[in-house]
Structure 1
Amino acid sequence: MKNFALIGAAGYIAPKHMKAIKETGNQMVAAFDKFDSVGVMDSYFPKASFFSEFERFDRHLEKLKREGKGVDFVSVCSPNYLHDSHIRFGLRLGADVICEKPLVLNPWNMDGLELVEKETGSRVFNILQLRLHPAILALRQKVISEPANKIHDIDLTYISSRGNWYYTSWKGDESKSGGIATNIGIHFFDMLVWIFGKVKSNIVHLQTHDRASGYLELERARVRWFLSINQETLPESILAKGKTIYRSLALEGQEIEFSDGFVDLHTESYAGILMGKGFGLQEARSSVELVHDIRQQKGIGLIGDYHPFSKKPLADHPFL
């Protein structure tokens, strides 16, 4: 049984990590969040110590370490811009670190973390759960088995509706979240590069407060992509069903269904890490570099081969 500490216990994704720790037969001994709405801990680890001040959390973990009861892993579920700092904290504590996506916001942060890994001997692992999804694994195997010169045409669409709260939270601040492409799209970009190879060309058509779209040329694919948090960009058929999320990956016009099968992927990710099969810094690097490159670009408008959803009417920022 391994001992875990968790940073960001009040966040949306934290319960998936708590569930994964419990279902892999391990123990969460301490958690931190500056917000104290963490009653969800009762469902998993009611005896875990909780801290709303980082200094006291730090002191507690140091005390456990001196007593020979230190944590083996630190799970990082904090806001994106704090990942780098919290990963460093875990490594210097002598623990391995499991971090949510995006691992960091900037490629040079990866270089710094590699140095801290070497200094401490501890490891960083990223949750890249789409690499474990059965439909995605099957697609990758299909592509690998094809001739190397086979180039696919892909439309990727992901709309995950958010209310106005989004814009006043850290997620609406590009310097903290990385913007739309990073915050909701990085796991899809990781999946695409993992399956279809390195980026050869990266064009951004639109980049606003509520959507982003562009065109990627990969070694084995041409990809038109569209990401949005605006419910009004959902297809009429999805709106008619009262749904607020739409995922679509179309390969040569043929839909690849992967909406289901997400339930236990965090647990599978943890199981793999505990068996020495986790995704480390090098596996996470390509998607971090890609979304950083997207973030540096201004949309060129509807020129060239753009995603058809890019023509949907643009919305005003609710607070500008």
Structure 2
Amino acid sequence: MKNFALIGAAGYIAPRHMRAIKDTGNRLVSAYDINDSVGIIDSISPQSEFFTEFEFFLEHAHTLKRDPATALDYVSICSPNYLHYPHIAAGLRLGCDVICEKPLVPTPDMLDQLSLIEQETGKRLYNILQLRHHQAILNLKDKVAAENRAHKYEVDLTYITSRGKWYLQSWKGDPRKSFGVATNIGVHFYDMLHFIFGKLQRNVVHYSSEHKAAGYLEYEKARVRWFLSVDANDLPDAVKGKKPTYRSITVDGEEMEFSEGFTDLHTTSYEEILAGRGYGIEDARHCVETVNVIRSAVIVQAKDNEAHPFVLGLAR
């Protein structure tokens, strides 16, 4: 049984980490968040210590180190995106391996710095890249590898996850803290595309605003038109009023169904990490590089054969 601490306990994704810690037979020893709306802990790990000030959390962690039986083995990080780097560094320097939500960090330079801290501490950083464990994604990856065809696949990626007015008032709506909508809701999709279709060869942005973004990515084995949005007005008519989220990937015009099977992917990720098969800094580098370019890209007029169907009405 390993000892875990959790940073960012009041966030949306934190309960999945808490359940993954419990379901893999481990112990959540302590948790930290500046917000105290963490009642979910009662149903998962009521014995955990909880702190609303980082200094007290850190001091408690150092105290635990005095006894090998109580010392923390892992620190899991679910804090806002802009805090990932300092929280990862703190966890590694506590002598713990670290498990962090995506996006790991905003830039490749920060990955290089974290790699140095790994070397200094002898500890490892793991990124949650849960789509790599989704069976539909694994099946498509195997199919693409087996076909090994000369011409590229034509892919459309559409992800619309409706967010209310609160979104722009939260850290997620501040590009200095979330790094923008493409990074915040899209980074794991870019990782998935790389995982299946190989190295990125071209990266073009056709539209970018606080609510949505769109562009074109060309990989070794695929041409991808993508559209991401948190605006409910972008939902297709068939979905509006019925579901708040629309997730679609078509490959050569054929819809790939992967709307189900997400529930336990964090637990699977933890199982793989604990078994020594987790995804580390270099695994995350490709998608970090991708979103880093998207954030700073000059918007260009979309060519018809490279424009996602949803962006044509926005750009004209």
Distance 1:238 1:220 in 2: 31
**Aligned AA (1:168):** Q
> Tell me, what secondary structure is at the counterpart of 2:201?
strand
Matching residue of 1:174: 175
Runs of 4+ in 1 over 3 A off after TM superposition: 301-304
Cα deviation, residue 185, structure 1 = 0.3
Matching residue of 2:80: 79
Once the two structures are aligned, what percentage of the paired residues are identical?
A: 56
Matching residue of 2:300: 300
1:275 aligns with 2:275: yes
1:237-264 deviation line (CA, Å, top 9, x unaligned): 0115x21100000001100000000010
Matching residue of 1:116: 117
- Name structure 2 gaps, 5 residues minimum: none
Distance 1:15 1:312 in 2: 38
**Aligned AA (2:11):** G
Matching residue of 1:154: 155
**Aligned AA (1:302):** A
Are 1:206 and 1:298, in contact at CA under 8 Å, matched by a contact in 2? Answer: no
Residues 313 and 216 of structure 1: CA distance in aligned 2, closer, same or farther (over 3 Å) = closer
Matching residue of 1:317: none
Are 1:181 and 1:291, in contact at CA under 8 Å, matched by a contact in 2? Answer: yes
Distance 2:118 2:280 in 1: 11
Distance 1:29 1:274 in 2: 17
Are 1:207 and 1:298, in contact at CA under 8 Å, matched by a contact in 2? Answer: no
Matching residue of 2:260: 260
Cα deviation, residue 303, structure 1 = 3.5
Distance 1:105 1:144 in 2: 30
1:247-298 deviation line (CA, Å, top 9, x unaligned): 0000011000000000100000000000001000010000000001000013
Cα deviation, residue 313, structure 1 = 4.6
> Tell me, what secondary structure is at the counterpart of 1:238?
coil
**Aligned AA (1:288):** V
- Name structure 1 gaps, 5 residues minimum: 315-320
Within a 5 Å distance, the mapping from 1:162-241 to structure 2 comes to: 162-240=163-241
**Aligned AA (2:16):** K
Cα deviation, residue 178, structure 1 = 1.1
**Aligned AA (1:221):** A
1:137 aligns with 2:101: no
**Aligned AA (1:38):** V
Distance 2:169 2:312 in 1: 27
**Aligned AA (1:161):** S
Q: CA RMSD in A?
A: 1.0
Cα deviation, residue 168, structure 1 = 1.0
1:128 aligns with 2:141: no
Cα deviation, residue 306, structure 1 = 0.5
**Aligned AA (1:116):** I
Cα deviation, residue 48, structure 1 = 0.4
TM-score (structure 2 length as normaliser): 0.97
Cα deviation, residue 301, structure 1 = 3.4
**Aligned AA (2:116):** L
Matching residue of 2:59: 59
**Aligned AA (1:291):** V
Query: Would you say how many aligned residue pairs link Structure 1 and Structure 2?
Result: 313
TM-score (structure 1 length as normaliser): 0.96
Distance 2:59 2:149 in 1: 54
Matching residue of 1:318: none
Distance 1:278 1:17 in 2: 15
> Tell me, what secondary structure is at the counterpart of 2:25?
coil
Distance 1:184 1:147 in 2: 30
Answer with 228-237 or 59-68: which moved more. 59-68
1:4-63 deviation line (CA, Å, top 9, x unaligned): 000000000000000000000000000000000000000111010000000000000000
Are 1:205 and 1:303, in contact at CA under 8 Å, matched by a contact in 2? Answer: no
